[in-house]
């Protein structure tokens, strides 16, 4: 399997993104065998992908470049949540589970129950159930303190947790290595979301 740092791979991705890679009548592109993971049983394909991308995960989880140089990308939020849940299960150690406290702001008649709201996953908000382990990579979804390195998209690694805070270490940028505490904070989806409340 080719490494993603291989210059050929970067050029190949640019050709696909630019629409220059040859496709078939259905608009599909055949990926070269050396960048594909062989298909196995359907229920273990995601495990095979995780094991391939994050080879020897627990032996390397303290290595900053190992964690920050790998990612599994997906086009759909529900797939991202499924991959994240499966990924966390690959880490050793105890799991901490955080739950959101969901409520509708403009709902004087209580039409939207918290049970219903817990099933929604608006863009830019974490899932209702967030499971983490020490060593799990996380991404900040809001600008909390941009001058201190805490802005939307900041990549961190969990170093510990308490009931209402996450102890994390910034992994990249000018503030790499800085330890911070992420508190529980109120979040609202953006106004352009598909929900009318």
pLDDT tens per residue across span 174-186: 999 999 999 988 8
Give CA separation, 96 vs 54, 114, 130, 158, in Å.
21, 22, 8, 11
Q: Check: CB of residue 41 under 8 Å from CB of residue 92.
A: no
Residue 2 predicted with pLDDT over 50: no
**What is the average per-residue pLDDT within 31-60?**
78
Asked whether residue 134 is assigned to any structural domain, the reply reads: yes
Sign of the four-CA dihedral 65, 69, 72, 78: positive
pLDDT digits (tens, 9 = 90+) for 71-97: 887 878 788 888 888 888 888 889 999
Domain assignment of residue 38, yes or no: no
Token pair, residue 42, equals 């359907």
CA distance 98 to 162: 10
From CA 95, how far away is CA 56, in angstroms rounded? Answer: 19
Does this model's pTM top 0.95? Answer: no
Q: What is the pLDDT of residue 150?
A: 94
pLDDT at 44: 67
Report the pLDDT value the prediction gives residue 178, as an integer from 0 to 100: 95
- Give domain status of residue 156, yes or no: yes
Tell me if 195 is assigned to some domain: no
Structural domain boundaries, residue 118: 77-183
pLDDT of residue 51: 84
The C-alpha atoms of residue 6 and residue 125 are separated, in whole angstroms, by: 34
Q: Are 91 and 117 in contact (CB under 8 A)?
A: no
Q: Is residue 42 part of a domain?
A: no
Confidence of residue 149 (pLDDT cuts 50, 70, 90): very high
92, part of any domain: yes
pLDDT computed for residue 120 by the predictor: 83
**Mean pLDDT, rounded, for 21-42:** 79
Domain count, the chain: 1
Please report which residue ranges of the chain form alpha helices under DSSP H: 7-17, 45-53, 57-60, 64-68, 77-90, 114-118
Distance CA 59, CA 79 (A): 26
| Interval 144-148 mean pLDDT | 92
Inside any domain, residue 129? yes
Virtual torsion, Cα 22, 28, 34, 35, nearest 10 deg: 110
pLDDT band at 194 (very low <50, low <70, confident <90, very high): low
What pLDDT shows up at residue 192? 58
Token pair 């800085």: residue = 178
Domain-located, residue 7: no
């Amino acid at each position: 399997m080719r490494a993603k740092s291989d210059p050929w791979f970067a050029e190949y991705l640019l050709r696909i993104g630019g629409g220059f890679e040859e496709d078939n009548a259905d608009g599909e592109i055949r990926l070269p065998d050396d960048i594909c993971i062989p298909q196995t049983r359907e229920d273990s394909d995601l495990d095979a992908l995780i094991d391939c991308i994050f080879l020897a995960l627990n032996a390397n989880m303290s290595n900053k470049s190992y964690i920050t140089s790998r990612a599994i990308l997906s086009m759909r939020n529900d797939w991202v949540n499924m991959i994240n849940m499966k990924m966390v299960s690959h880490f050793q150690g105890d799991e901490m589970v955080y739950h959101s406290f969901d409520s509708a702001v403009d709902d004087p008649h209580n039409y939207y129950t918290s049970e219903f709201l817990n099933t929604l996953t608006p863009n830019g908000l974490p899932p209702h159930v967030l499971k983490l382990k020490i060593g799990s990579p996380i991404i900040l979804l809001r600008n909390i303190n941009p001058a201190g390195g805490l802005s939307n998209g900041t990549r961190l690694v969990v170093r510990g947790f308490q009931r209402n805070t996450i102890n994390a270490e910034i992994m990249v940028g000018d503030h790499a290595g800085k330890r911070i505490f992420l508190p529980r904070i109120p979040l609202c989806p953006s106004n352009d979301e598909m929900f009318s409340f």
